[in-house]
């Protein structure tokens, strides 16, 4: 039995090593091509995925039909889903390419709108930290590069490691070049909390995917779904301003980042509820989705059924406290 386990472990290790070599070679190939070629190659791969990946194609068409069925025909919904697959392929391919580009090489391909909204005012200890609720819009891996163009901030975000150790190692080696701090959601909660005690931190938290059974039931695009409380929890807990950030794909291989207005976390001198704050975040994301529907990640099952977080009898959702949600925010956010 022991020998069989050892043999299985050896096979897994060999397969993991092979996977790393193949993935690393593919990344090297992509990074050797011009960005415009990579964008076209990615769009082609996305079109192929639309034809072959029936499961995610059905998810995208179902999501789009649920949200835009009253506005668009069935043919328009399918065309939008097909373009969404092309955009996702383009985004993934370009993410591999841009990960190897220097800030000067990348500069002609990115622009920023509203960055002045995020510029931190000085405190006695240094620049004030800020929380940015971000989503899977455009080339979302580029969020981590913001600090290279506005160096007053130290960018940070959270991630969930993939199952394959080799791919996880490769992804983090690519992301490390951004200068952004990455915290694994399930294991780095304490380190993230410690980092939040510093000033000048710009923490981006992905908040547009299903929040799990511990998420808040909040409407998004007209339908209630589980929503991560993390951006609101961190903004309230650490007394940070809260904004949204969206990456728009404006042309093949070109992106524009837009910072949203500050979302109020207090009203009449008192903290707003986490649910009310996250409703504002979802509404800002809705505006971004409607502006360019193909730019969002429709292949994710955003509205899948799940257990809504239960409230105590007689306690309205809007009175949920920060302390009750902080642990969920650390694990589920970003």
Contact (CB, 8 A) for 296 and 68: no
The encoded tokens of residue 10 equal 């050896």
Q: Bridge-partner residues for 206, per DSSP?
A: 134
The CA-based angle 259-217-275, given to 5 degrees, is 55
Question: Residue 282 and residue 161: Cα distance in Å, rounded?
Answer: 25
Whole-angstrom CA distances from 92 to 40, 88, 96 are: 12, 6, 7
Question: Residue 297 and residue 85: Cα distance in Å, rounded?
Answer: 9
Domain boundaries, the chain: 104-332
Residue with the larger pLDDT of the pair 68 and 11: 68
Cβ burial 108-132 (10 Å sphere, 16+ → b, else e): ebbebeeeeebebeeeeeebbbbbb
In the sheet with 110-113, reading across from the earlier edge strand, the strands are 110-113, 254-259, 242-251, 130-134, 201-206, 154-159, 181-184
Question: Residue 33 and residue 29: Cα distance in Å, rounded?
Answer: 7
pLDDT single digits (tens) 41-97: 999 999 999 999 999 999 999 999 999 999 999 999 999 999 999 999 999 999 999
Per-residue pLDDT at 10: 53
Per-residue pLDDT at 306: 63
Please provide the average confidence, as pLDDT, over all residues in the chain. Answer: 86
What is the average pLDDT across 104-128? 81
Residue with the larger pLDDT of the pair 6 and 212: 212
Angle at which helix 274-291 crosses helix 230-237, to 10 degrees, equals 130
Contact (CB, 8 A) for 203 and 156: yes
pLDDT single digits (tens) 292-324: 999 999 999 999 886 555 544 333 334 333 333
Cβ burial 33-44 (10 Å sphere, 16+ → b, else e): eebeebbbbbbe
Half-sphere exposure of 189 (CA within 13 A, CB side): 12
Q: What 3-state class would DSSP assign to 259? A: strand
Question: Confidence band (pLDDT; 50, 70, 90) for 120?
Answer: low
């Amino acid at each position: 039995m022991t020998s069989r386990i050892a043999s299985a472990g050896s096979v897994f290790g060999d397969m993991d090593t092979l996977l790393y070599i193949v993935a690393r070679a593919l990344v090297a190939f992509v990074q050797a091509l011009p960005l415009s070629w990579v964008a076209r190659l990615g769009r082609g791969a996305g079109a192929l995925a639309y034809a072959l990946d029936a499961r995610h194609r059905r998810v995208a068409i179902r999501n789009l039909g649920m949200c835009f069925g009253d506005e668009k025909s069935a043919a328009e919904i399918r065309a939008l889903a097909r373009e969404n697959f092309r955009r996702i392929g383009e985004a993934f391919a370009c993410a591999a390419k841009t990960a190897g580009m220097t800030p000067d090489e990348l500069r002609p391909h990115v622009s920023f709108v509203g960055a002045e909204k995020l510029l931190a005012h000085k405190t006695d200890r240094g620049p004030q930290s800020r929380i940015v609720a971000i989503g899977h819009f455009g080339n979302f891996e580029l969020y981590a590069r913001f600090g290279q163009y506005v160096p007053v901030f130290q960018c940070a975000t959270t991630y969930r490691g993939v199952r394959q150790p080799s791919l996880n190692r490769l992804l983090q080696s690519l992301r490390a070049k951004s200068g952004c701090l990455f915290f694994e959601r399930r294991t780095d909660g304490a380190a993230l909390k410690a980092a939040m005690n510093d000033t000048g931190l710009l923490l981006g938290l992905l908040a547009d995917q299903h929040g799990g059974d511990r998420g808040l039931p909040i409407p998004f695009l007209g339908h209630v779904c589980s929503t991560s409380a993390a951006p609101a929890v961190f903004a309230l807990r650490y007394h940070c301003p809260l904004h949204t950030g969206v990456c728009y794909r404006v042309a093949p291989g070109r992106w524009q980042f837009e910072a949203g207005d500050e979302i109020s976390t207090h009203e009449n001198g008192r903290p707003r509820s986490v649910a009310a704050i996250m409703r504002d975040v979802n509404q800002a994301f809705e505006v971004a989705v409607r502006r360019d529907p193909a730019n969002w990640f429709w292949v994710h099952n955003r509205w899948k059924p799940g257990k809504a977080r239960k409230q105590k009898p007689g306690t309205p959702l809007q009175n949920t406290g920060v302390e009750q949600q902080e642990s969920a925010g650390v694990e589920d956010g970003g």
